[in-house]
Amino acid sequence: MQQQLTDLVLRLQDAFASSLVSVVLYGSAAANDRDESFSDLNILCVLKHVTPTELMHAEPVWNWWRAFGNPTPLLFTEEEVHQSADSFPLEFRDMQERRRILYGIDLVADLKVEHTFYRAVLERELRVNLFRLRQKAAVVLSDPEALLRLCADSVSTFCVLGRHLLLASAAQAPVKRREIVAQIASQLKIDMAPMNTLLDVREGAADAIEPAALFARYLKTIESLVRHADQL
């Protein structure tokens, strides 16, 4: 992972030269809670300006980076970082809590995230990801292996959103998935057992599982998270 990150920064420096302001690793990899089988390396790249010229220079770097299975980095101007905290409150709050500055200056530390925007976007993201999970599950319910993989793929997203739910609830919010799940169960009184089971699956430590039954319980857990966000 470290070699990929080092190579990425070198390629970005070569592509953008003096226009490159900052490169930030954020998310589970920045918190040393990354599962290589499931987790991505999430990158914020900040430039002085973004025009078709910069996008053209970015194309070979992005293609190289995506070949490792990573998502395309977020590309912002410095001005957009300062102006976007109300539009992307979860992303920037997450970056504030879990980030590594790979190059340049730290533009994230002093951003102000308004609670009203934060709570509303959190509820929306929980609902959107719940609806998306249902849509995807509807076409794999007869395939237990695919259904289990779908649930295991999604659990990290709900751990991230669950962490934000703790923050929005003024509760202690750890950064590691197991600790997040335990804190939600303790502080918010939500049954998080299905998410613990799915974390076991991701780690290859799960016992015999009936995917359809696990999926049904998992949906109930997510619906409880949504209801809690709605009532804040």
pLDDT for the residue 39 = 58
pLDDT for the residue 35 = 59
Q: Spell out the residues 6+ positions from residue 104 whose beta carbon is closer than 8 angstroms to its own.
A: 20, 21, 22, 23, 46
Q: Summarize pLDDT for 81-129 with one digit per residue, the tens.
A: 999 888 888 888 888 888 999 999 999 998 988 878 899 999 999 999 9
Give the residue from 85, 126, 142 showing the smallest Cα distance to 108: 85
The structure's pTM equals: 0.75
Q: Quick one: what percent of the chain has pLDDT higher than 70?
A: 97
Q: Spell out the residues 6+ positions from residue 32 whose beta carbon is closer than 8 angstroms to its own.
A: none
pLDDT for the residue 38 = 47
Give the ranges where 138-192 is alpha helix by DSSP (H).
144-168, 177-183
Q: Summarize pLDDT for 26-69 with one digit per residue, the tens.
A: 988 887 765 555 457 999 999 999 999 999 999 999 999 999 99
> What is the per-residue burial (b if ≥16 Cβ within 10 Å, else e) of 54-83?
beebbeebbeebeeeebeebbbbbbeebee
Give the residue from 178, 124, 187, 184 showing the smallest Cα distance to 156: 178
Q: d(Cα 187, Cα 192) in Å, to the nearest integer?
A: 11
Residue 165, both tokens = 């739910």
Beta-bridged to residue 42, according to DSSP, are 26
Q: Summarize pLDDT for 158-209 with one digit per residue, the tens.
A: 999 999 999 999 999 998 899 999 999 999 999 999 999 999 999 988 778 9
Q: How far is CA 116 from the centre of its chain?
A: 21
pLDDT for the residue 34 = 56
pLDDT for the residue 58 = 96
